[in-house]
Amino acid sequence: MTNIPTTHAPQANDAQPGPVARFIRDTELDTRMLGMVGALLLIWASFHFYPVIAGVLSGNGLNWGSGLFITPRNLWNLSVQTSMTGIMATGMVLVIITRNIDLSVGSIVGVTGMVMGIVQVNFLPPLLGLGSPLIWIITVAIGIVLGALIGAFHGWLIAYRGIPSFIVTLGGMLVWRGAAFLTADGKTIAPMDATFGLLGGGPTGSVGAVGSWIVGLLGCVAVLWIIQAGRKTRTKHGFPQRPMWAEGVLAVLGCGVLIGAVLVVNAYIWPKGIVDAYVKTHPEVVIPEGGLQISTGFAIPVLIMVVVGILMTILMTRTRFGRYVFAIGGNPEAAALAGINTKWMTLKIFSLMGLLSGIAAVIASARLNAATNALGTLDELYVIASAVVGGTSLAGGVGTIYGAIIGALVMQSLQTGMVLIGYGDGSYRMIAVGTALVLAVYLDNLYRQKTK
């Protein structure tokens, strides 16, 4: 028992790997993720330079300024638009890993959004007084709990009553959309509570320059801590370490992305109209020469998505719950034989999906500053597409949280990009998104076959 092998298997091919392969091997970066990020950057570049090239071709000459995609304003918008789908996609990963599907998330957004609207507009103000700080807290809690309960009910039907998830959630999609209409007889509820509205983002619903720097620097500290903690565990068990230069590259990359993101969101300044309104309500503000410029910073829904993403990643990679999700997806029978209560797990997974839909409903209704019964329509398809584009396998057992969020970013980039290059009317956009979905899954199949 003393001669424990402590080295990883030697590479299968004896030939010295090329510099790129060596780089990937030493940094232990996920090649699939690199591919996805590469595709994302390619999409961004294409949308950005399309107007530039089109301008040259139509004889209007070269104008670098005509590219609109890679600008602080658009990237900031993109981040806010992605947050809702991204949050739900992290839950859809678990659902799909366990070989299920949830078609009802859009309708859950609809019904929880409506209930939250009625609660904060019709019920709470008479009880607590208009503008009470408790209103948004109670409203959000009700929305999240309601979402979780609806999800748990779906999970119960699926796990304990043996109805296929496709059918349960297809039924749920119709039932909850109908229920959303009935909650207020189809009326739109507006406006939302002022504090609640901040959760939807917008210039006032953002954390500003200082707040963004704090978030970014905390992120950098976390990156360095993770690298350090990783080294310590490897030492403890005698596993081989990454080379120092690889650790350095990872640290620089991680912190670089974070600081870059802070610079971008801080470069997006409040639009003039909002600044004027702000100055009117804050007469004490001294306006500097050249006008008041206020950095927007990270939007609150984006920070919510980041927190959800981190918590879900911890759940999936560091806890028994996550391990069992993967085990059920890989081999449900083996999971049951290992003593895992697969039915209870299924119920919990759907409940979590419902909870995340509730959070998405908070953001959606806050952003719209209104609750309508159409809130979240077709979201289920974008959420499923995001998870699948992000590498979640419909065959079960495979998927990552960060993949789903990048997938949501890809899907949202396509939609936004089509609008920016002038194909914003629904039909072209849908064609682009649909094509990208099928293409992404096809490319992923090729990748998996090649790396097998």
Q: What's the token pair of residue 265?
A: 């969101």
Binding segment for other proteins (CB under 8 A), chosen from 2-10, 70-78, 79-87, 256-264, is 2-10
Q: Does 331 bind other proteins (CB under 8 A)?
A: yes
Binding segment for other proteins (CB under 8 A), chosen from 135-143, 207-215, 234-242, 358-366, is 234-242
Binding to other proteins, residues 395-414 (CB under 8 A): 397-398
Q: Where are the alpha helices (DSSP H) in 372-451?
A: 379-389, 401-420, 426-451
Q: Does 394 bind other proteins (CB under 8 A)?
A: no
* Residue 65: DSSP 8-state: G
Using the CB atoms, write b or e for 224-263: b if 16+ within 10 Å: eeebeebeeeeeeeeeeebeeebbebbbeebbeebeebbe
How distant is the alpha carbon of residue 265 from its chain centre? 17
272 or 320, CB closer to other proteins?
320
Q: How many residues bind other proteins (CB under 8 A)?
A: 35
Among positions 318, 344, 378, 431, the unique one binding other proteins when judged by CB under 8 A = 318
Min dist. Cβ of residue 329 to other proteins (A): 7
Min dist. Cβ of residue 398 to other proteins (A): 6
Q: How far apart are CA 329 and CA 156, in angstroms?
A: 18
Q: How far apart are CA 448 and CA 445, in angstroms?
A: 5
Q: Does 339 bind other proteins (CB under 8 A)?
A: yes
What 3-state DSSP class applies to 189?
strand
Min dist. Cβ of residue 320 to other proteins (A): 5
| Kind and range of the H or E run holding 211 | helix 208-237
Min dist. Cβ of residue 103 to other proteins (A): 24
Q: Which residues pair with 189 in a beta bridge?
A: 371
What 3-state DSSP class applies to 295?
strand
Other Cβ atoms closer than 10 A to 29: 16
Amino acid at 384: I
Min dist. Cβ of residue 400 to other proteins (A): 12
* Residue 100: DSSP 8-state: -
Min dist. Cβ of residue 245 to other proteins (A): 22
Q: Does 344 bind other proteins (CB under 8 A)?
A: no
Min dist. Cβ of residue 90 to other proteins (A): 19
Q: Does 240 bind other proteins (CB under 8 A)?
A: no
Q: How far apart are CA 96 and CA 156, in angstroms?
A: 17
Q: Does 334 bind other proteins (CB under 8 A)?
A: yes
Q: Does 448 bind other proteins (CB under 8 A)?
A: no
What 3-state DSSP class applies to 371?
strand
Positive or negative: CA dihedral 287, 289, 291, 293: negative
Amino acid at 262: V
Encoded one letter per residue, x for contact with other proteins by CB under 8 A and - for no contact, window 5-24 reads xx-xx---------------
Among positions 163, 224, 336, 394, the unique one binding other proteins when judged by CB under 8 A = 336
Among positions 25, 323, 343, 429, the unique one binding other proteins when judged by CB under 8 A = 323
* Residue 66: DSSP 8-state: G
Among positions 11, 293, 319, 435, the unique one binding other proteins when judged by CB under 8 A = 319
Among positions 41, 174, 190, 234, the unique one binding other proteins when judged by CB under 8 A = 234
Q: Does 239 bind other proteins (CB under 8 A)?
A: yes
Min dist. Cβ of residue 311 to other proteins (A): 13
**CB-based contacts of 428, cutoff 8 Å, min separation 6:** 418
Binding segment for other proteins (CB under 8 A), chosen from 3-11, 79-87, 259-267, 412-420, is 3-11
238 or 273, CB closer to other proteins?
238
Q: Does 237 bind other proteins (CB under 8 A)?
A: yes
Q: Taking a C-beta distance cutoff of 8 angstroms, is the pair 47, 417 a contact?
A: yes
Q: Give the angle subtended at the CA of 440 by the CAs of 90 and 64, to the nearest 5°.
A: 95
257 or 336, CB closer to other proteins?
336
Note the residues at the interface with other proteins (CB under 8 A). Answer: 1, 3-6, 8-9, 233-234, 236-239, 314, 317-320, 323, 326-327, 329-331, 333-340, 397-398, 452
